Amino acid sequence: MSGNNLFYNGKIYTQADGLPVADSMAVNGNIIIAVGSNLHRDPDFVSYKKINLRGRAVIPGLVDAHTHFYFMAISLGNVHLDGAVSINEVLNRIARHARKLAKNEWVIGEGFSPDQWKKYIMPDRYLLDNITRGRPAAIFSKDTHMMWANSKALALGGLTRHSPDPEGGVIVRFENGEPIGILKEIPAYFPVFKMIKKPPKAKAEKLYRRALEMAYAKGVTAVHSFDGPDALPFFVEKAAKGTLGLRVNFYPPNKMLPELKEAGVKAPFGNDYLRISGIKIFADGALGSQTALCFDKYIGSKRNFGVEVTSKKEISALMKKAAAIGLPCAIHAIGDKAIANVLDCFAHAPRLKNGARHRIEHLQMIRPSDIARVKKLGIIASMQPTHCPSDVNLIKKYWGKRGKNCYIFNTLQKKNVPLAFGSDAPIEPLDPLAGIHAAVNRFIPGTKKSFYPDERISVARAVFGFTTGAAYAVGQEYERGYLLPGYKADFVVLSKDIYQIPKTEINGVKPLATVFDGRLVYHDKNFRLSL
């Protein structure tokens, strides 16, 4: 499907206040040129190919505002442990995966979560040694803020009893000082991480194509990607060849600032398909690893308040360096103290131009007194609704009554704080419709009860967060996020009208077709866009 196309007999949700719903839309190449009623009868479009939507609902292409898309693609070749209910199940999965690998190939896994197991146990290096048969192994926790490494991997990373805890990280140890194999936060596990060999190019390409197919099947046409340095040359090459397949707003880690400056990067930098949109900074860790930085200690701990991964002084210095090349900052902050620290830094940050907007990534638990500061400073609240049901039990276990300050979607939107929604894929599945379901219902897993139900939001606001809100977060709200003339022809045909069905049934909605850049990139096997 390419060239001039006119889609009619649909319910096209434009997202615009003045024209909320249309029944037809004309597309010239990759640009929407008209939206209205009965355009298929308009003589101006007599030469256009007519495509009957058969009454289906259509929304803008879905945008996941927080992914690690390159990492997600590469990780499709790893062993996946999310959902395992015991340490034995985890070990069995890893052992089966390891047997398929070459003798010295790294065993890489993700998704281990002791809090999900029937019996909580923090694993050690020797459990891995017994099943990896001399291969180095690095297994990431579900939140990726903790690595479980075996003895071979620790040795390759040079980590011994004499290795000090790095600033912003923790090496968990036996009583004799030897590392047990649990490394908390990037500064602690980076010595091992940097030793992991990248997959061969051919394998990376194959895995990336699989990731694209997964994205299209979920209606995703754009992502904001928070990946490491390896991702940028990969994305650049794909964009140059016209095979990137998505609109990617890339947020490189702050350690790449000198490299970007030397390369002459100046915001806005990029094109319709790939754009460097800001710099990623970590203020703290995560709830599951008990490293999110909090004002009050974790329940059950003696003095654990989390980990300050980057100090306020460092964050402010990084903000100035990023602003010098026109880039805003997207700062990972989960605990309430980390968020307060970041807001202190934003209050003194240099002014930005060209629609660049600062963001707080996750913003999971915030003091009520800090909400007004988020609004006043114009900060984007970049949040992941599917984290909410996943974290309910952890919130109750480690934060208790502070749960009322967690995932406050409705409070923020009532204060007119801009919301941009994502998944944090591969931490949670790349699935915006699941995110919409989570934001609207906030169901506690296994029940029909809502977690702090006053924080539920409307379907319209949830869809907005995965479309227009995500576009606004990167200063591209005049190019994407609406189905209006002049906007990119990125849209999704849904199996049910998400605005009309009972809210509890949203999890049954799926994309029937995904159009990216004016091209049909996905359709359900039982659905065809008839002419």
Task: Measure the CA–CA gap between 51 and 53, rounded to whole angstroms.
Answer: 6
Q: DSSP strand E in 123-259: where?
A: 137-141, 146-149, 170-173, 179-184, 220-225, 247-250
Task: Measure the CA–CA gap between 389 and 118, rounded to whole angstroms.
Answer: 18
Task: Measure the CA–CA gap between 266 and 327, rounded to whole angstroms.
Answer: 8
Indicate if the pLDDT at residue 355 is higher than 90.
Answer: no
Indicate if the pLDDT at residue 446 is higher than 80.
Answer: yes
* Size (the chain), residues: 531
Reported as half-sphere exposure (CB side, CA atoms, 13 A), residue 431 has a value of 17
pTM of the entire predicted model:
0.92
pLDDT of residue 330: 98
CA neighbor of 381 nearest in space, from 414, 427, 426, 352? 414
Helix 125-132 / helix 87-98 crossing angle, nearest 10 deg? 40
Q: What is the average per-residue pLDDT within 344-359? A: 92
User: The sheet that has 269-270: what strands, in order across it?
Assistant: 62-67, 220-225, 247-250, 274-276, 269-270
The contacts of residue 486 (CB under 8 Å, 6+ apart) are 31, 32, 33
Q: Residue 42: exposed, middle, or buried by beta-carbon count in 10 A (0-12, 13-18, 19+)?
A: middle
Q: Are 45 and 31 contacting, i.e. CB atoms less than 8 angstroms apart?
A: no
Q: Are 132 and 150 contacting, i.e. CB atoms less than 8 angstroms apart?
A: yes
Instruction: Write phi, then psi, for 489 (nearest 5 degrees).
Output: -85, 70
Q: How many CB atoms lie within 10 A of CB 351?
A: 6
Q: Are 110 and 426 contacting, i.e. CB atoms less than 8 angstroms apart?
A: yes
Q: Are 331 and 374 contacting, i.e. CB atoms less than 8 angstroms apart?
A: no
Query: What is 138-150 written as a DSSP string?
Result: EEEETTSSEEEE-
The contacts of residue 529 (CB under 8 Å, 6+ apart) are 1, 51, 52, 53, 493, 513, 520, 523
pLDDT class of 277 with cuts at 50, 70, 90: very high
Q: Residue 446: exposed, middle, or buried by beta-carbon count in 10 A (0-12, 13-18, 19+)?
A: exposed
Task: Measure the CA–CA gap between 99 and 96, rounded to whole angstroms.
Answer: 5
pLDDT of residue 20: 84
Angle at 174 between CA 173 and CA 175, to 5 degrees: 115
Three-class SS string for 243-276?
Answer: CCCCEEEECCEHHHHHHHHHCCCCCCEECCCEEE
Task: Determine the 3-state secondary structure of 64 from DSSP.
Answer: strand
pLDDT class of 2 with cuts at 50, 70, 90: low
Q: How many CB atoms lie within 10 A of CB 83?
A: 11
Task: Determine the 3-state secondary structure of 209 from DSSP.
Answer: helix
pLDDT class of 497 with cuts at 50, 70, 90: very high
| DSSP for residue 480 | S
pLDDT class of 1 with cuts at 50, 70, 90: low
Structural domains present in the chain: 4-61+487-523 (2.30.40.10), 64-69+200-473 (3.20.20.140), 78-193 (3.10.310.70)
Question: What percentage of the chain exceeds 90 in pLDDT?
Answer: 91
User: The sheet that has 419-421: what strands, in order across it?
Assistant: 279-282, 329-333, 359-362, 380-383, 419-421
Q: Are 94 and 138 contacting, i.e. CB atoms less than 8 angstroms apart?
A: no
Quick: pLDDT tens for 130-143: 999 999 999 999 88
List own/partner pairs for 253-258 with CB under 8 A and 24 or more apart.
253/228, 253/229, 253/279, 253/280, 254/279, 254/280, 254/281, 254/318, 254/322, 255/229, 256/229, 256/232, 257/318, 257/321, 257/322, 257/325
Q: Residue 190: exposed, middle, or buried by beta-carbon count in 10 A (0-12, 13-18, 19+)?
A: middle
Q: Are 515 and 60 contacting, i.e. CB atoms less than 8 angstroms apart?
A: no
pLDDT of residue 530: 59
Task: Measure the CA–CA gap between 479 and 272, rounded to whole angstroms.
Answer: 9
Indicate if the pLDDT at residue 354 is higher than 90.
Answer: no
pLDDT class of 531 with cuts at 50, 70, 90: very low
Helix (H) or strand (E) holding 7: strand 4-8
